[in-house]
Amino acid sequence: MPTEAENTWDNAESPSQSSSTKPSGLDKIKIIGGNPLYGTIPISGAKNCALKLMCASLLTGETMYFENSPNSLRDMNSQRELLRYLGCKIEHEGAALTINADNIETYTAPYDIVRKMRGSILVLGPLLARFGEAKVSLPGGCAIGTRPVDMHINGLEEMGATITLDEGYINAKAPAGGLQGAKILFPKVSVGATENLLMAATLANGTSTLANAAREPEIVDLGQCLIKMGAKITGLGTDTIRVEGVKALNGTQHSVIPDRIETGTYIIAAGMTGGTVTLKNARIDTLSSVLGHLSQAGIEVTQNNGDLVVSREIERLRGVDIMTEPYPGFPTDMQAQFMAMLTGADGAGMVTETIFENRFMHVPELNRMGADITVQGNSAIVRGVNGLKGAEVMATDLRASVSLVLAGLVAKGETTVNRIYHLERGYEDIVGKLGRVGANVRKA
Ligand code: UD1
């Protein structure tokens, strides 16, 4: 199966590329390891929240104003491309983003745009709820398992929608009077299905209950924005969310929460390399499980006037076991980075992945750098080694790619991370942010 990295790099807002110009997604990052990091890294708005907030804009004809939006990410670019295709008017400058969905021209989200990013499935619920119909291509995204969308579809059917799958498209129609409130019990905790159904329920007739709902901070932030838009929602952050449908929603202003995964990634970078790093605009309360495990490993994180200060307490970090779980458990999106950290730890750590199958693609690459990792089923034993060695590596998903960058920061000699396409999907200015705190890193 082709991965996203193999089959696409371009989109509407990319600077035009002639055949002689190399698209930036195929660039490499070169790192010479060994520098401790000192200084300040600003944390961007959360990608996994901003993408959904953009979809929420489809629920109203009034203008939405977002701040702290990670606009330079490739995934944000793909989402803008999709919303513009649907007919939205969008402007963005710096971290400000304005979206108006008053003149929607089509209810179809085409394969060419949706295949780039799984987050685009989140237009399904809002389109269906506001316009009564939607046609959305089955999504692409990182190549981390099969990632079905059955729970999104079943939930919308329980709200009265008629859904057929045809030639790779989800065709959805609401009943004549609009979607109906429903009691939906998710068989498994899903971030995306919870968000799609939450948005759909805001404009449905009557009350909806989402049971076994996901509790991620990004969902709470989306829900708080929906409440500002006039939605009636209770239970955000718990496993049971109740939504009383309203006739229409209004525009509002909303600031995107800081990215907890970017924050966790730079905490590990600081801890692995030594030194002291301050993370600006980060939120400690969304990282409890990660910080608990990092503290056991020997990384200290303290809060200082809204910033986080990270330092390593001991000469060599300790091996610690982790198991990924839905929030508030250890996030699957931090698993690869944690594993990169364990490669150099004193002792061993076991990493168990329970959310996605096929999410150990970084393992062979880390082993090529000298790591000692053995995978058995959905667990990996990482035995700490005395130093990694630089190598040429490549990964085909976002967090796997960044784990290789982390390994490169401490490896002896030069590491080349090929095809930075995936990094650019989820990390704003990663080369600049690491370079400014002392890493020897550059694009090549
Ligand atoms: C979101 C995040 C992703 C993160 C993941 C889990 C975005 C854009 N992406 O992805 O970074 O790794 O949450 O925290 O926010 N599943 C089904 N049927 C469905 C939906 C999901 O079986 O209809 C399964 C998935 O295959 C997976 C599990 O449920 O095994 C959890 O997936 P889900 O929480 O839905 O992940 P995403 O929303 O796709």
Q: Is the Cβ–Cβ distance between 46 and 112 less than 8 Å?
A: no
Which H or E run contains 89? strand 89-93
Q: What pLDDT score was predicted for residue 119?
A: 84
Q: Whose CA is nearest to atom 37 of ligand 1?
A: 192
pLDDT tens by residue, 44-89: 999 999 999 999 999 999 999 999 999 999 999 999 999 999 999 9
> Which of 48, 54, 189, 191 has most ligand 1 atoms within 8 Å of CB, for mutation?
191
Q: Output phi, psi for 382, to 5 deg.
A: -110, 110
Q: Which ranges of 203-316 would DSSP assign to H, the alpha helix?
A: 217-228, 260-273, 288-297
> Which of 54, 147, 196 has most ligand 1 atoms within 8 Å of CB, for mutation?
147
Is there a catalytic annotation at residue 225? no
Q: Is the Cβ–Cβ distance between 309 and 282 less than 8 Å?
A: no
Q: What pLDDT score was predicted for residue 268?
A: 98
Ligand 1 close to Cβ of residue 332 (< 6 A):
yes
Q: What pLDDT score was predicted for residue 58?
A: 98
Cα–Cα distance for residue pair 229/237, rounded to 1 Å: 18
Q: What pLDDT score was predicted for residue 145?
A: 53
Collect all residues with Cβ–Cβ distance below 8 Å to 377 and sequence separation of at least 6.
none
Q: Is the Cβ–Cβ distance between 155 and 197 less than 8 Å?
A: yes
pLDDT tens by residue, 215-248: 999 999 999 999 999 999 999 999 999 999 999 9
Collect all residues with Cβ–Cβ distance below 8 Å to 135 and sequence separation of at least 6.
107, 108, 109, 169, 170, 171, 172
Q: Whose CA is nearest to atom 21 of ligand 1?
A: 190
Q: Beta partners for 374?
A: 381
Q: Whose CA is nearest to atom 5 of ligand 1?
A: 191
Both tokens assigned to 69: 């939006």
Q: Which ranges of 257-324 would DSSP assign to H, the alpha helix?
A: 260-273, 288-297
pLDDT tens by residue, 85-95: 999 999 999 99
Q: Whose CA is nearest to atom 29 of ligand 1?
A: 190
pLDDT tens by residue, 137-147: 987 544 545 56
Q: What pLDDT score was predicted for residue 389?
A: 98
Ligand 1 close to Cβ of residue 119 (< 6 A):
yes
* Amino acid found at 208: S
Task: Find out whether the peptide bond into 328 is cis, omega within 30 degrees of 0.
Answer: yes
Q: What pLDDT score was predicted for residue 357?
A: 84
Ligand 1 close to Cβ of residue 359 (< 6 A):
no
Three-state DSSP class for 79?
helix
The rounded average pLDDT for each run of 10 residues, N- to C-terminus, in the chain (444 residues) is: 30 35 70 97 98 98 98 95 98 98 97 86 97 89 64 97 92 96 97 98 98 98 98 98 98 98 98 96 94 97 92 94 98 98 97 92 96 97 97 90 97 94 92 98 94
